[in-house]
Amino acid sequence: MKLKESLLSRRDFFTGLIYGSLGSVAAYLAYPVVRFLYYEKKLPLPKAVTITLADIEKLSLNSAVYFQYGYLPGILVRTEAGEIKAFSAKCTHLDCNVNYKPDTKTFYCACHDGYFDITGKNIAGPPPTPLVAFNVKQEADHMVITYPEEGGEEAKKA
Ligand code: FES
């Protein structure tokens, strides 16, 4: 059976098609932003992360390597004296990742030219607070890295 008149005008059909397409594009663009802002911060952090001493000994003195602490990027530094330090690699300004600069023994954030010293203290640029320092403890043949008790900014967000 064929209807004599359409239930939907051509204008209404194309208007709906355009609004539907725009809505799909908006949802496609908004999803990663919403996920970045809310989703990851609700994930629980692990109680600890272990790194074997054999892996740490492969690291040259005065150099750094990234590691993952749950959803948080971490940066582990082996100082010139052989001491191991670990920090959250997220800059305390706007969450960009920091890099270690062996020549100046500082952490550098390229986003807005922020600097932190080897203890994680913010020393130049816009970062308002020091890097979050992880606790590092040697056990048998590995290092155990844990999040600080008071938790800093990340714990408040979680
Ligand atoms: S995000 Fe690191 S200085 Fe702005």
**Does ligand 1 lie within 6 Å of residue 78's CB atom?**
no
pTM score of the predicted model: 0.72
pLDDT over 60 at 155, yes or no: no
**Does ligand 1 lie within 6 Å of residue 94's CB atom?**
yes
> Is the same domain home to 28 and 65?
no
> Is the same domain home to 22 and 75?
no
- Average pLDDT value for residue range 73-78: 95
> Is the same domain home to 132 and 81?
yes
Say which CATH number the domain at 98 has. 2.102.10.10
Amino acid in position 76: L
Structural domain range at position 16: 10-42
pLDDT over 60 at 142, yes or no: yes
Name the residue of 87, 90, 108, 112 to mutate for ligand 1: max ligand atoms within 8 A of Cβ. Answer: 112
Q: What is the pLDDT of residues 95-110, one digit of tens each?
A: 999 999 999 999 999 9
Q: What is the pLDDT of residues 53-71, one digit of tens each?
A: 999 899 999 999 999 998 8
Q: How many Å lie between the centroid of ligand 1 and the Cα of residue 16? A: 43
Determine the pLDDT at residue 156.
Answer: 43
Amino acid in position 28: Y
CA distance 17 to 62: 59
